[in-house]
Structure 1
């Protein structure tokens, strides 16, 4: 995903990227999910379980096909899928395509023909996924997608409330900078959530002429490192205090890179606002010397849990909505404890609505509050 002059090239290079996320490397070639997400630590999570009389759903084999598995966000998302699949008595295999859409389509085809009972997809484009998803549906294999603009009858698509997330974050930034100033935008085209976030960004900028965008960039290729490098160049171009008021980062990988560049330059008067949240992000936000002061997000583990629940509803024979919107919450440094560091498992103690979503828990399911 690229941005500005350079970014446009990367958007093309990413060849129709499909969305935003974050993290470390994912399991490939059927690698178990725990290799990607690490040991699941449910904390106070709410997990669906198989209700009485649903023994026929035990032992289901689930495939998770990912466009990429980069960053802590993706690792935590995979961990959420894994713990929910296992709580429902199934097994999970993860296939990550390294941001190669052709490879993602190939892995999807392999899953359709590989004896899986259900398929989850993470990101991707309609062009890359539609043929494989239709094959799955024709074979009676249920599919639930996350952050892809798919429109295939019988398929449920999950997405975050991207336009609203973007709007709320921009309003928070506006409040903090006093309604005026110069900002840097980090964004990339070609991903469904990014495109939705851009809608709110454009409307906001049109409505706030005293806030000026002085630079924009972004890429999906090593996003945190590329952002750091490009932000360092922009800080040299605008060297004086007051030249830049804030950075609006449409993905937490972008926010991490911008934060590191600003810290290293000693320019912490510049504030960073991000979208999405992981344990790594939270550590940066809690640092009182960090420019990253707020982020809006859905718990990535909850995304994985909810997506899995809808897949199991389909396996149960339930009718499910075509689109499910996951509501986000704002996380600000001011709301976090000053006397200790916390992780996202503990974040729900301080941020209402974090980490305990009950979306997708059907009446026939049991539940386990961990």
Structure 2
């Protein structure tokens, strides 16, 4: 390379790098976030029990920490009246935004409207609110229901006697159920021989008791479809304690560290699950709320793409935790949804 060409090359490189630095410096952080600690986002959860919700909360807190904002968390432990009171308290405190995690529309929508009328932004996770001002986050539950139901049908070549574990009245579970009904219609030799399930303060343990009774009443059963991993845990424990792992295959929704440990244990009947990383979902919820506070336009529906995880995949890749799973299956990692440039710049600024 001649001296002249080298000079031209170096000059071009300086121009490109300078432009990149200028562009990064030119990202304007919203005025509201100049002192991000003053931004207060409340997270109100219907339930917090179970490893899924623990990881979801950890993700939400990590995103809040990276943005430097204040996250205020309250969990109702399944008590809807308590959940309403928590939302009322945060409205009174005039927080900047409220993330509402699960719950039922009828009692909660009036409080959501009250928050919006007072200028408080609202984001929901697995709660349907027919108002364009309220972004809804979900794990694409229709797709989840279809993926796991289809996996069961294909694995059994269209013929199985299924104990179905699910309940109605919860938006994500209702959506998943619709896809199960369609798959049963498509594969008429897939028989639902029993339906069990209840959401309680000890869902897994109560499901185990119900599963033990169902196995006795339906000795012909050879598959379990559980539309929540807390259901699956109870079913798997009942099957293994009865010594019937070779008779059953268990299919579920959601994936956590505890689920992985149960799937990879010796003789586990838990063969497949479909879900997202709740850590990533919690982070998305905080970003969506922060974006609304900053005046960003956030899409109405934020659907996090689910992934199929099989016991075979876990064993083949020596996976024992969610962190290892995300590395082996990158699609489970950080969602690309709601990442404005100023938010990335704020995260980088807070690292210094």
| Counterpart in the other structure of 1:360 | 338
Contact 1:224–1:255, Cα closer than 8 Å, also in 2? yes
Q: Match for residue 313 of structure 2? A: 335
User: Separation in 2 of the partners of 1:362 and 1:337?
Assistant: 38
In the alignment, the residues of structure 1 paired with residue 317 and residue 188 of structure 2 have an alpha-carbon distance, to the nearest angstrom, of 40
From 61, 64, 75, give the equivalent of 1:96: 75
Alpha-carbon distance between aligned partners in 2 of 1:139 and 1:83, rounded to the nearest angstrom: 28
CA distance in 2, matches of 1:225, 1:64: 27
Give the aligned partner of residue 211 of structure 2. Answer: 231
Matched, 1:245 2:222: yes
Greater shift, 132-141 or 244-253, is seen at: 132-141
- How many residues are paired up? 317
Alignment of 1:136-285 (within 5 A): 136-221=115-200, 222-239=202-219, 243-269=220-246, 270-285=248-263
The alpha carbon displacement at 1:55 in A equals: 6.0
Q: How big is the shift at 1:53?
A: 3.1
Residue 349 (structure 1) shift: 2.2
CA contact (8 A) 1:336 1:350 kept: no
Let me know the Cα RMSD of the aligned residues: 1.8
Tell me whether 1:53 sits opposite 2:32 in the alignment.
Answer: no
1:47 corresponds to which residue? none
State the match for 2:265 in structure 1: 287
1:172 deviates by 1.0
Normalising by structure 2, report the TM-score: 0.86
Q: Structure 1 residues 182 and 320, CA, compared in 2 at 3 Å: closer, same or farther?
A: same
Verify: 1:125 aligned to 2:101, yes or no.
no
Alignment partner, residue 351 of structure 1: 329
Q: Does the 8 Å contact 1:181/1:212 carry over to 2?
A: yes
Q: Which has the higher contact order (CA 8 A, sep 6+)?
A: 1
Deviations 1:7-61 (A, max 9, x none): xxxxxxxxxxxxxxxxxxxxxxxxxxxxxxxxxxxxxxxxxxxx65346311111
Q: Against the structure 1 CA distance between its residues 280 and 134, is the aligned structure 2 distance closer, same or farther, given a 3 Å change threshold?
A: same
Q: How many Å separate the matches in 2 of 1:244 and 1:54? A: 58
* Counterparts in 2 of 1:362 and 1:102: CA distance versus 1, 3 Å: same
What runs of 5+ residues in structure 2 fail to find an aligned partner?
Answer: 1-26
Q: How far apart are the structure 2 equivalents of 1:245 and 1:177?
A: 10
The structure with the larger Rg is 2
Cα distance between partner residues in 2 of 1:327 and 1:220: 25
- Give the Cα separation in 1 of the matches to 2:267 and 2:234: 15
Shift, 1:341, TM fit: 4.6
